């Protein structure tokens, strides 16, 4: 008799999804899927809009990482305009993108993941959330909140709004940086360093106690993709994409936004509204790959900043070649944050950072354009086609969560098969299966949030429809 376990909704994620686990007659796991149950219609309703509206429109997809959408979208528009933006504008955008990464990673690590990491996978679900962390480890609660504020405040200083700033436009940014704002950001940096170092120390202290989870949390060989500079340092805003295999060999390199769709395809599965990206030459699903913090650290030879480089060297000791365990996304996220703070400090010391030439202007000079950037969760690509009047005729977005989709599904199956035996499961086991998805920090649709509290209701139903078991919180 086959049975299905459903985890709906999966909690502590950005957006709404569910997990189903199919059991066979012996109570073992036959299959498992992570379903994204929201529909995104942005590509469709952008049609007919002027291309220069796209950054503002597309940013509305997400309340957590709108900046990445702004940047990828503006870059796609600049390809249509055939302009190269001023150096200062590029540096200011880079700083904005890093600030967003820091605040988004702080949300992921402290608010969403740390309840599992610091309180334990089996801890009381009634207090397994950020407020439980605050009670148990107030210094880490304060650090997490302060890092989120750090990133949010930089975004607000630069773009005038914490969410959906209109400052990034096709051609650059609307306003230069003032000396007062530069000094205000610089004044925040020492505290940000202290907070991320505290988090790194706390993570390293507890990481070894999660060895069983590390073994089965989406831990398998795969391809990895991320942006990189010519000097092989990590990059979030410019650079080109590199794809490596599970042994670290370069599979493809120098992938520009205009080449993205030549090499990356998107497959569709009936159980999810999110597509499944893959590397075309290897086909689907063999060409599936991972993006995001883990991929970035696996690909980069250097972070390009001294403190993060020390952390990268330590991270690379975790495995010979690329680190495969997705649990290490958490670790990589903290290294990303440290890098982000250092890089922001570096950018602010650029002698041209206060320059007032921050925007290029042009009309339609090409009928298609693509732009790419690293969002906190991984590579993001926007591709638009326009008519001679600059009205959008076609748009496609490839988001990080879609690029991690196959790995998330494989990871859920791997963990479910490991933990569920004889059809038996506990709340702690189901939490671990949810926690596999949390390692990727997927953003299913950050622009819409749940109203009220998100419950967990897991029902085990037999093939004849009888409720066999139920766990609720």
Partner 1 sequence: MSFSPARCVILACGNTLREDDGVGPWLAQWAAARFHAAPDLRILSRQQWTPELAEDAVRAESVIFIDCSAESAPGELTLAPVAPADGSPGLATHHLDAAQLLSLGSQLYNSLPRTALLFTVGAGSMELREGFSDAVQAALPDACRLLEQTVLQMLG
List residues binding partner 1 (CB under 8 A).
Answer: 11-12, 107, 111-112, 126-127, 129-132, 134-135, 138, 141-142, 145, 148-149, 152, 163, 184, 187-188, 190-191, 449-450, 452-454
Supply the minimum distance, in Å, between the C-beta of residue 180 and partner 1.
14
What are 77's two structure tokens? 């528009």
Tell me how far apart the 2 most distant CA atoms of the chain are, in Å.
71
Taking the least distance from each CB to partner 1, the nearer of 134 and 353 is: 134
Taking the least distance from each CB to partner 1, the nearer of 90 and 136 is: 136
Supply angle C-alpha 225, 446, 79, rounded to 5.
55
Supply the minimum distance, in Å, between the C-beta of residue 163 and partner 1.
8
Taking the least distance from each CB to partner 1, the nearer of 39 and 126 is: 126
Whether the Cβ atoms of residue 373 and residue 97 lie closer than 8 Å to each other: yes
Pairwise CA distance, residues 21 & 19, whole Å:
7
Taking the least distance from each CB to partner 1, the nearer of 138 and 254 is: 138
Residue 274: closest CA among 366, 415, 407: 407
Supply the minimum distance, in Å, between the C-beta of residue 344 and partner 1.
13
Element (H, E) at 370: strand 368-375
Supply the minimum distance, in Å, between the C-beta of residue 119 and partner 1.
12
Which residues make Cβ contacts (< 8 Å) with residue 158, sequence separation at least 6? 92, 95, 96, 99, 165, 167, 173, 177, 181
Supply the minimum distance, in Å, between the C-beta of residue 192 and partner 1.
8
Supply the minimum distance, in Å, between the C-beta of residue 333 and partner 1.
17
Supply the minimum distance, in Å, between the C-beta of residue 132 and partner 1.
7
Taking the least distance from each CB to partner 1, the nearer of 83 and 130 is: 130
Supply the minimum distance, in Å, between the C-beta of residue 25 and partner 1.
35
Pairwise CA distance, residues 436 & 396, whole Å:
28
Taking the least distance from each CB to partner 1, the nearer of 107 and 291 is: 107
Supply the minimum distance, in Å, between the C-beta of residue 11 and partner 1.
6
Taking the least distance from each CB to partner 1, the nearer of 163 and 234 is: 163
For the beta carbon of residue 41, count every other beta carbon within 10 angstroms.
7
Pairwise CA distance, residues 93 & 247, whole Å:
33
Supply the minimum distance, in Å, between the C-beta of residue 270 and partner 1.
30
Reported for 197-204, long-range contacts at CB under 8 A and 24+ positions apart, including other chains, are: 197/338, 198/139, 198/140, 198/143, 199/109, 199/110, 199/140, 199/143, 199/144, 199/147, 199/334, 199/337, 200/311, 200/334, 200/335, 200/338, 202/118, 202/137, 202/140, 203/117, 203/330, 203/331, 203/334
Taking the least distance from each CB to partner 1, the nearer of 130 and 461 is: 130
Taking the least distance from each CB to partner 1, the nearer of 18 and 418 is: 18
Residue 196: closest CA among 304, 290, 129, 101: 101
Taking the least distance from each CB to partner 1, the nearer of 166 and 248 is: 166
Q: Is 197 exposed, middle or buried (0-12, 13-18, 19+ CB in 10 A)?
A: middle
Supply the minimum distance, in Å, between the C-beta of residue 229 and partner 1.
30
Taking the least distance from each CB to partner 1, the nearer of 366 and 449 is: 449
**Phi/psi class of residue 8: alpha, beta or left (left: φ > 0; alpha: ψ in -120 to 50)?**
beta
Taking the least distance from each CB to partner 1, the nearer of 131 and 271 is: 131
Pairwise CA distance, residues 224 & 244, whole Å:
5
Instruction: Kindly provide the residue ranges of all beta strands, DSSP E only, lying in 98-247, ordered along the sequence.
Output: 168-169, 172-173, 223-228, 240-244
Question: At which residue do the structure tokens 């494989």 appear?
Answer: 410
Supply the minimum distance, in Å, between the C-beta of residue 198 and partner 1.
14
Question: At which residue do the structure tokens 């919180």 appear?
Answer: 473
Which residues make Cβ contacts (< 8 Å) with residue 18, sequence separation at least 6? 6, 7, 8, 9, 10, 34, 35, 37
């Amino acid at each position: 008799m086959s049975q299905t376990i459903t985890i709906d909704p999966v909690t502590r994620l950005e957006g709404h999804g569910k997990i189903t686990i199919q059991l066979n007659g012996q109570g073992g796991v036959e299959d498992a899927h992570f379903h994204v149950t929201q529909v995104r219609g942005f590509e469709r309703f952008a049609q007919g809009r002027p291309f220069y509206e796209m950054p503002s429109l597309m940013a509305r997809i997400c309340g957590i990482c709108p900046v990445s959408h702004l940047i990828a979208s503006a870059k796609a528009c600049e390809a249509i305009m055939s302009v190269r933006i001023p150096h200062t504008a590029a540096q200011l955008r880079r700083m904005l993108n890093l600030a967003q990464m820091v605040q988004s990673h702080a949300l992921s690590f402290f608010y969403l993941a740390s309840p599992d990491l610091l309180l334990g996978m089996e801890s009381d679900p009634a207090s397994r959330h950020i407020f439980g962390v605050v009670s148990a480890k107030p210094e880490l609660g304060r650090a997490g909140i302060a890092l989120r504020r750090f990133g949010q405040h930089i975004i607000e200083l630069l773009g005038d709004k914490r969410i959906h700033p209109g400052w990034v436009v096709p051609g650059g940014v609307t306003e230069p940086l003032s000396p007062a704002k530069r000094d205000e950001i610089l004044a925040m940096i020492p505290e940000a360093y202290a907070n991320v170092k505290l988090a790194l120390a706390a993570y390293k202290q507890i990481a070894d106690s999660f060895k069983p989870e590390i073994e089965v949390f989406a831990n398998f060989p795969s391809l990895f993709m991320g942006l990189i500079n010519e000097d092989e340092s990590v990059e979030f805003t410019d650079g080109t994409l590199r794809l490596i295999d599970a042994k670290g060999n370069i599979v493809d390199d120098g992938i520009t936004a205009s080449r993205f769709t030549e090499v990356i395809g998107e497959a569709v599965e009936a159980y999810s509204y999110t597509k499944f990206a893959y590397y075309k030459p290897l086909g689907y699903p063999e060409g599936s790959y991972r993006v995001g913090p883990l991929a970035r650290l696996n690909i980069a030879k250097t972070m390009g900043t001294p403190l993060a480089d020390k952390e990268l060297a330590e991270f690379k000791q975790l495995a010979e070649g690329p680190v495969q365990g997705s649990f290490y996304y958490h670790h990589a996220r903290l290294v990303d944050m440290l890098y982000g703070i250092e890089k922001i400090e570096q950018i602010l010391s650029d002698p041209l950072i206060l320059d007032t030439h921050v925007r290029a202007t042009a009309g339609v000079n090409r009928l298609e354009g693509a732009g790419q950037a690293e969002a906190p969760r991984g590579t993001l690509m926007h591709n638009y086609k326009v008519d001679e009047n600059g009205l959008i005729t076609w748009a496609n977005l490839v988001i990080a969560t879609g690029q991690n989709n196959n790995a998330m599904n494989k990871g859920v199956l791997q963990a479910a098969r490991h933990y569920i035996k004889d059809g038996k499961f506990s709340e702690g086991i189901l939490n671990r299966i949810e926690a596999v998805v949390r390692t990727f920090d997927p953003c299913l649709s950050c622009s819409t949030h749940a109203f009220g509290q998100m419950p967990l209701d897991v029902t085990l139903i037999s093939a004849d429809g009888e409720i066999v078991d139920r766990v609720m919180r």
